[in-house]
């Protein structure tokens, strides 16, 4: 696993990060623990979570897993999106929803899968409170995060999905700087889209870390490029699941071009495995000093992603990705 010293944090971590959004939500406790163990065993040492992930349970399962490993990892969490109060009914309902989704996938019923996901998302959206970026909320959220994670400090604390328009008072950043001085936070910043990340860092030069989505078809590093002193964490290299089928479909429409692209990078991008490899290799290549997050829970996928994040990607990966984008003629 290639490592990097993420600007703003100042300690070495893996170039590939583990996104914890699915923990205790899409997947249950046992699968969450297996996924964390597999990632760690394959060299992943950057773990990204949030107060709201897993309906407020992601930090807890991550904290349990990291017992005895805390000094070997970098932990990033977020505040501003508040999970609902814990509910016995919700805990009982989650395994049922997971089982229904698994059955729909096994039976190849995409319509049913979308309906189930829509119902879950609607319920989650109705119970999660977003856009709370004041100091009082931040202090309360940090206290809870430290308790759930079982630690006395976090390496990275981010505001979760703010817009530039929501951050007009620098008071919250003054408080965050005070937490750095106290040693309870090593670095701070924002997790949002690339456009807002660029605007916020321009307005508040003290921001140390930014996180945003970036993929071959929608490269956030063009909008908010890495610069000296600013740590960049990108997520969604697979376009939230849309980029792999889009790339293989594009290859099917342009077989001669796809054959040339495959020869240039050294693997077959017409397959889902090859397309995934190009997408992740590109994300790593355009963020060479940062971290690329993947929401991964299958051990086979974790192993494959870790292998891609080994050697530094060749420049030809970027050139092929640029060609792909030009042929596609659009972003996804």
Let me know if 331 is exposed, middle or buried by CB neighbors in 10 A (0-12, 13-18, 19+).
Answer: exposed
Q: pLDDT tens digits, residue range 143-166?
A: 999 999 999 999 999 999 999 999
pLDDT value at position 28? 85
Give the range among 57-71, 206-220, 310-324 with minimum mean pLDDT. Answer: 310-324
Residues 101, 61 share a domain: no
Q: pLDDT tens digits, residue range 194-218?
A: 999 999 999 999 999 999 999 999 9
Residues 283, 163 share a domain: yes
Residues 165, 123 share a domain: no
Helix-helix angle 255-265:315-328, to 10 degrees: 170
Average pLDDT over residues 8-34: 91
Q: How confident is the model at residue 291 (pLDDT cuts 50, 70, 90)?
A: very high
Average pLDDT over residues 242-258: 94
Q: How confident is the model at residue 112 (pLDDT cuts 50, 70, 90)?
A: low
Q: The pTM is what?
A: 0.86
Burial 197-209 (b: 16+ CB within 10 A, else e): bbbbbeeeeebbb
The domain containing residue 228 runs over which residues? 3-83+130-328
The tokens describing 245, both together, are 């089928």
Residues 54, 105 share a domain: no
Residue 13: pLDDT above 60? Answer: yes
Q: How many structural domains compose the chain?
A: 2
Residue 64: pLDDT above 60? Answer: yes
What is d(CA 193, CA 47) in angstroms, rounded to the nearest whole number?
19
Residues 211, 103 share a domain: no
CATH code for the domain in which residue 176 is found: 3.20.20.100
Residues 249, 119 share a domain: no
Residues 218, 238 share a domain: yes
pLDDT value at position 104? 45
pLDDT value at position 83? 67
Residues 108, 175 share a domain: no
pLDDT value at position 241? 83
Nearest to 18 by CA among 294, 297, 283: 294
pLDDT value at position 25? 79
Q: What angle do CA 30, 34, 36 make, to 5 degrees?
A: 115
Quote the mean pLDDT of the chain: 87
Residues 45, 151 share a domain: yes
Residues 299, 207 share a domain: yes
Average pLDDT over residues 247-251: 94
Nearest to 42 by CA among 279, 299, 276: 299
Counting residues of the chain whose pLDDT is more than 70, the rounded percentage is 85
Backbone region of residue 137 per phi and psi (left: phi > 0; alpha: psi in -120 to 50; beta: other values) = alpha
Range of 85-94, 105-114, 290-299 with top mean pLDDT: 290-299
């Amino acid at each position: 696993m290639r490592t990097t010293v993420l600007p703003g944090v100042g300690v070495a971590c893996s170039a590939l990060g583990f996104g914890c959004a699915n923990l205790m939500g899409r997947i249950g406790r046992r699968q969450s623990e297996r996924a964390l163990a597999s990632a760690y065993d394959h060299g992943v040492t950057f773990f990204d979570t949030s107060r709201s992930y897993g309906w407020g349970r992601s930090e807890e399962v991550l904290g349990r897993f990291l017992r005895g490993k805390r000094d070997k990892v970098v932990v990033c969490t977020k505040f501003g999106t508040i999970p609902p109060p814990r509910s016995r009914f919700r805990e009982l309902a989650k395994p049922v929803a997971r089982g229904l989704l698994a059955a729909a996938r096994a039976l190849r019923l995409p319509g049913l899968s979308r309906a189930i996901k829509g119902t879950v998302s609607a319920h989650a959206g109705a119970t999660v409170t977003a856009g709370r970026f004041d100091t009082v909320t931040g202090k309360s959220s940090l206290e809870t995060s430290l308790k759930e994670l079982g630690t006395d400090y976090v390496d990275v604390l981010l505001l979760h999905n703010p817009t530039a328009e929501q951050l007009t008072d620098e008071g919250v950043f003054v408080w965050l700087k005070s937490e750095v001085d106290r040693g309870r936070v090593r670095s701070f910043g924002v997790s949002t889209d690339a456009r807002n990340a660029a605007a916020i860092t321009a307005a508040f030069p003290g921001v140390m870390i930014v996180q945003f989505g970036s993929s071959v078809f929608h490269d956030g590093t063009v909008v908010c490029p890495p610069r000296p002193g600013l740590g960049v964490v990108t997520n969604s290299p697979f376009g939230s699941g849309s980029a792999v089928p889009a790339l293989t479909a594009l290859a099917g429409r342009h077989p001669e071009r796809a054959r040339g692209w495959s020869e240039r990078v050294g693997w077959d991008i017409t397959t889902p495995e090859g397309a995934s490899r190009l997408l992740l290799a590109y994300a790593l290549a355009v963020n060479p000093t940062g971290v690329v997050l993947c929401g991964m829970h299958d051990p086979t996928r974790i192993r494959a992603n870790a292998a891609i994040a080994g050697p530094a990607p060749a420049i030809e990966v970027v050139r092929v990705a640029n060609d792909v984008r030009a042929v596609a003629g659009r972003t996804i």
